[in-house]
Amino acid sequence: MTKDYYDILSVKKDATREDIKKAYKKKAKKYHPDLNEGDAEAADKFKEVNEAAATLGDDQKRKQYDTVGHAAFSQGTRGGGGFNSQDFSGFGANADFGDIFENFFSGAFGDIFGGGHGRRQRRGSDLRYDLSITLNDAAFGTNRKIRVRKHSLCETCNGSGGSKVETCGTCHGHGMVRQAKRTPFGIFQTTTACPACQGLGKRILEPCKKCDGEGRTLADKELDVQIPPGVQAGSRLRLNEEGEAGGPGATPGDLYVFLDVEAHELFTRHGDDILLEVPISFFQASFGATIEVPTLEGKAKLKIPSGTQSGTIFRLKAQGTQRLHGHGRGDELITVQMETPKKLTKKQEKLLKELSKEFGEGAEPHKSLFARLKKHMHK
Ligand SMILES: [Zn+2]
Ligand SMILES: [Zn+2]
């Protein structure tokens, strides 16, 4: 049924605090909601890992846990305020889990065990915006303006929700109240959001008329999105605190811009390189030629040596997309495809037949091919 906290973190019973911290970082990263969007199982695991770390990372709690055992203990913590995994949702995929761990135990995420002065506040939701850009935008970066309908901090009250703000008398501004809980193993101190002020720590006596004391209003907001050069389809940009406003005193969520790169009519992309197919004639391939080829920024000259075979790939250095967070550019790779004339005039056909005779291939190419194949097999 319920798993042992040591098992959840995959650490031994005699693990040091450092071991636990390391194990927690690893697991929390693996199951972090930002990296496992929409995965309910990962969300449960994440919760489990946090619950385990909250206990084993605290020396006193750990001692109790070791003494009284899992079943009783896990109920003890769950019943009392518990851990709200939402508290972690604000951390991006690149967040430093070391900080999270430290903050976790210093109470920055809310007063988990009644020891600190953390205030449980709602954080605004993260938002997602899907943005389609061209291959050139992706290659060289661009600025785009987007319009997002969202709750923003109310400008009238500056997000405070109103005037005449009074510190909540029930929780004295802490937003949390302590409760002693009697269990067969002793009295546990637990904390919950203050019922009088819903965890805000204050009460608004004259709510703002514009936002009805909510501290936020729904409106369209225009935002500048800086798209760095070299982004790929599926790249995700984070605009800090441009998500939904959370209400009085709460931090807004973040806005995530998911990029999609439109298909280009000529080029396909491969990493930082772009690929292009160019048709050449039999004569260009035979005699050699200098042809003009399109590039992302215009055109370039490509020299085709005489005797070039169909399917040969030429490389135009540094004509691909810029490298993300790096210097330089990828290349443009051009595959030449030899085109066979589709329709011949009588005169052309006659000349080509003469030419093929000159090559010793006869009027029927199949015959000569089979002849050559035979020769090849006899070798
Ligand atoms: Zn307002
Ligand atoms: Zn209160």
Cβ < 5 A residues, ion ligand 2: 168, 170-171, 194, 196-197
Q: How far is the CA of 72 from the centre of ligand 2 (A)?
A: 30
Is the pLDDT at 86 greater than 50, yes or no?
Answer: no
What is residue 188's predicted lDDT score, i.e. its pLDDT? 72
117 CA distance to ligand 1 centroid (A)?
27
CA 87 to centroid of ligand 2, rounded, Å: 19
Q: How far is the centre of ligand 1, averaged over its atoms, from the C-alpha of 207 (Å)?
A: 7
CA-CA distance, 369 to 375, in Å (whole number)? 10
Q: How far is the CA of 179 from the centre of ligand 2 (A)?
A: 14
Confidence at 38, pLDDT banded by 50, 70, 90? confident
Find the 170 Cα to ligand 2 centroid distance in Å: 5
What is the whole-number distance in angstroms between the Cα of residue 214 and the centre of ligand 1? 7
For the chain, give the percent of residues with pLDDT over 90. 41
User: At residue 306, does pLDDT exceed 70?
Assistant: yes
pLDDT at 44: 86
Q: What pLDDT, on the 0 to 100 scale, is given for residue 314?
A: 98
Closest ligand relative to 158 C-alpha = 1
- Least confident segment among 94-98, 171-175, 331-335, 350-354: 94-98
Q: Among candidates 22, 14, 188, 12, which has minimal Cα distance to 113?
A: 188
- 176 has pLDDT over 50: yes
Name the least confident of 122-131, 193-202, 232-241, 298-307.
193-202
User: Could you tell me which residue, 205 or 82, shows the higher pLDDT?
Assistant: 205
Mean pLDDT across 84-106: 37
* Top-confidence residue, 150 or 179: 150
217: which 2 tokens? 């209003």
**319 close to 296: Cβ distance less than 8 angstroms:** yes
Closest ligand, as measured to the CA of 248: 1
Domain covering 1-109 in this structure, CATH number:
1.10.287.110
81 token code pair = 């305020």
Give the CA distances from residue 144 to residues 140, 225, 233, 237, 264, in Å, rounded to whole numbers and listed in that order. 13, 5, 16, 12, 19
More confident site: 346 or 69: 346
Centroid of ligand 1 to alpha carbon of 152 (angstroms):
10
The pLDDT value given to residue 367: 63
Distance 113 CA to ligand 2 centre (A): 18
- Whether residue 85 is predicted with pLDDT greater than 80 in this model: the reply is no
From the CA of 252, how far away is ligand 2's center (Å)?
21
> Among the ranges 8-12, 55-59, 75-79, 221-225, which has the highest mean pLDDT value?
221-225
Q: Kindly state which CATH superfamily the domain 268-340 is placed in.
A: Urease metallochaperone UreE, N-terminal domain (2.60.260.20)
Q: pLDDT: is 228 or 90 the higher one?
A: 228
* Residue 68 Cα to ligand 1 middle (Å): 50
Give the number of other CB atoms < 10 A from CB of residue 175.
25
What distance in angstroms lies between residue 203's CA and the mean position of ligand 2's atoms?
A: 8
Domain boundaries, the chain: 1-109, 268-340, 351-379
Contact by Cβ (8 Å): 252, 245 = yes
User: What number is the average pLDDT over the span 114-138?
Assistant: 76
Q: Pairing relation of β-strands 255-261 and 127-133?
A: parallel
User: In angstroms, what is the span from residue 211 Cα to ligand 1's centroid?
Assistant: 4
Dig out the tokens for 178 from the structure: 């302590």
Q: Three-state SS string across the chain, please? A: CCCCHHHHHCCCCCCCHHHHHHHHHHHHHHHCCCCCCCCHHHHHHHHHHHHHHHHHCCHHHHHHHHHHCHHHHHHHHHHCCCCCHHHHCCCCCCCCHHHHHHHHHHCCCCCCCCCCCCCCCCCCCCEEEEEEECHHHHHHCEEEEEEEEEEEECCCCCCCCEEEEEECCCCCCCCEEEEEEEECCEEEEEEEECCCCCCCCEEEEEECCCCCCCCEEEEEEEEEEEECCCCCCCCEEEECCCCCCCCCCCCCCCEEEEEEECCCCCCEEECCEEEEEEEEEHHHHHHCEEEEEEECCEEEEEEECCCCCCCCEEEECCCCCECCCCCCECCEEEEEEEECCCCCCHHHHHHHHHHHHHCCCCCCHHHHHHHHHHHHHHC
98 or 335, greater pLDDT: 335
CA of 121, nearest ligand number = 2
CB 130, CB 216: distance < 8 Å:
no
In the predicted structure, residue 82 carries a pLDDT above the cut 50: no
Would you say residue 228 has pLDDT above 50? yes
Residue 165 Cα to ligand 2 midpoint, Å, equals 12
- Average pLDDT on 166-185 reads 81
- Closest to 129 (Cα-Cα) out of 38, 253, 238: 238
Centre of ligand 1 from the C-alpha of residue 153, in Å: 8
CA of 183 to the centre of ligand 2 (A): 26
Residue 253 CA to ligand 1 center (angstroms) comes to: 18
Residue 203: nearest ligand to its CA? Answer: 2
User: Sorting pLDDT into bands at 50, 70 and 90, what band is 50?
Assistant: confident
Mean of per-residue pLDDT scores for the chain: 81
